[in-house]
Chains A and B, each alone.
Chain A
Amino acid sequence: MLIRRPSELAPSDITSPALYARRREFLQLSAGLALATALPASAKLGPGKASTLSTTETPTPLKHVAGYNNFYEFGTDKEDPAQYAHKLRTTPWTVSIEGLVKKPKTLGIEDILKLAPLEERIYRLRCVEGWSMVIPWLGFPVSTLLKQVEPLGNAKYVEFITAVQPDTMPGVRRSVLDWPYIEGLRLDEAMHPLAIMAVGLYGDTLPNQNGAPLRLVVPWKYGFKSGKSIVKIRFTDKEPTTSWMKTAPQEYGFYSNVNPDVNHPRWSQATERRIGEFSKRKTLPFNGYAEQVASLYTGMDLRKNF
């Protein structure tokens, strides 16, 4: 077991020129693919303000971050999203925020991008399947977005509803999951400073397969909690039933916090394979963010509330 100590790199040193070169290759490639729905190449979003919440671990190469995805709307194989997501229409894009709020709103993506200065958040991502990555996201706190609508006092949960475009998403023609894909958080989880709305990664706009143009990133929970391509956010007083809870309630709970001591019924969660590494790592409680988030769950039985 290789135990890595955090390196002493400045945040600006983390993305190597070689990676940036590969990013360009990738963008050129996807631009070629996207010719049919050609959009003018936009100026770079990033690099974004560095954040003290970022990890100093080495980011996973972009080709893997954008080439190995679970985005079932585009197919259930890991390579499907990279192959098919270029068709996703990301403009125009609106997000309606509604439910138990004082001022329900529908915001265009261009307005959302102006809500707050973008930050670079380099987070670990742990998939429920037992692999992990380190991803330099570009985004802003979820709380910034949620505060726009002034939640009412009885709002306890936030539901995130994602896009369904039957003509661009080959996966939604089959009912593998209950579309649209729905995720949810408790309001205090959503307002936690670690939870972000991401609009980019590696200093630029999100590749479609990573959930363009707007996605949730909740680094202390399994990856599936971080819904992609969000179109609606609803405040509720009841715990939302998420898509995975509907599909397999005994396997996926509402909280789905990364927890090495609570196994998925069909596989162990004690270890994980960081993409690009040979040996496996021990999975950390709350994906290594216990210090920041464990207090959200004081007094809760995390085995019952898995």
Chain B
Amino acid sequence: MNPSLLKPPLFLLCLGPLAWYGWGVYADTLGANPIEAVTRGLGTWALNFLLITLAVTPLRKYTGWVWLAPLRRMLGLYVFFYATLHLSTYLWLDQFFDWPAIAKDILERPFITVGMICFLLLLPLAATSNAFAIRKLGGRRWKELHRTVYAIGLLAVLHYAWMVKADIAKPLLYAVILGVLLGLRALWLVQEKRRQLAGAYLKKKPLGRIIPIVVRK
């Protein structure tokens, strides 16, 4: 499959949630409290895209669908897109740009503090989501930087769970999915460590330069 053919339809598909809420506001189908529905909906979709982005690598590994990999950047940028909209609705429709109240909210309400940290951590990732930044940083450092997405995932679920009044079923579902996606990474790390400790990379002729993650003896 050719990723460059997939990108335009995927780009439009990812705008679907925004279109849905836009239409909902226009047609008044979002119930009694449309502003709350939009704010929460955009936040939910930021989180959804985060999990989708984190699912790309496991899916590619287990299915062999290598064409997924080039789509990951766009999906990741949609996390930032929906997170920005989510934050904007809070700043505008919830607080009406009352900056002292916003500052107080960020300092005093743990769920808002955590949400804000999430957004701040997303900024460098969005800013370095281009080939120039990768070249400039070097692949390894770029990768290290982009591993903050794991922390963002954990904080985003916490942000959701702390917002909820009593029924944490939905945040819990997100936590479980995130747990699986992060758990797989931990598993791969352990497996790779074992392989390297067993000397596998020394026996095989390397394909290129390999930087081992364990200390050589």
Residue B169 interfacial (CB < 8 Å): yes
- In which size bucket is the chain A interface? 20 to 34
Number of A-B contacts (CB under 8 A): 52
Residue A72 interfacial (CB < 8 Å): yes
**A79 contacts B96, CB within 8 Å?**
no
Shortest C-beta distance, B110 to chain A (Å), equals 7
Stretch in B29-37, B74-82, B199-207 touching the partner: B29-37
**A67 contacts B32, CB within 8 Å?**
yes
Closest A-chain residue to B108, C-beta based? A263
Stretch in B10-18, B159-167, B182-190, B208-216 touching the partner: B159-167
Could you say which of B36, B111, B167 contacts A266, with CB atoms under 8 Å apart? B111
Stretch in A39-47, A158-166, A273-281, A292-300 touching the partner: A273-281
Residue A270 interfacial (CB < 8 Å): yes
Closest B-chain residue to A277, C-beta based? B35
**A275 contacts B32, CB within 8 Å?**
yes
Residue B194 interfacial (CB < 8 Å): no
**A247 contacts B166, CB within 8 Å?**
yes
Shortest C-beta distance, B80 to chain A (Å), equals 25
Q: How many Å lie between the Cα of A279 and that of B105 in the bound state?
A: 18
Contacts of B59 in A (CB 8 A): none
Closest B-chain residue to A224, C-beta based? B165
Closest B-chain residue to A63, C-beta based? B32
Contacts of B31 in A (CB 8 A): 64, 67-68, 78-79
Q: How many Å lie between the Cα of A278 and that of B89 in the bound state?
A: 12
**A131 contacts B33, CB within 8 Å?**
yes
**B36 contacts A131, CB within 8 Å?**
yes
Could you say which of A68, A265, A266, A279 contacts B32, with CB atoms under 8 Å apart? A68
The contact sample of 28 A-B pairs, CB cut-off 8 A, is A60-B32, A63-B32, A64-B31, A67-B31, A68-B31, A68-B32, A72-B166, A78-B31, A78-B32, A131-B33, A131-B36, A174-B169, A176-B166, A176-B167, A248-B166, A263-B108, A266-B109, A266-B110, A266-B163, A270-B101, A273-B35, A273-B36, A275-B32, A275-B33, A276-B32, A278-B35, A279-B96, A280-B96
- Which 10 A-B pairs rank lowest in CB-CB distance, beginning with the nearest? A68-B32, A64-B32, A76-B167, A176-B167, A275-B32, A176-B166, A247-B166, A266-B109, A266-B111, A67-B32
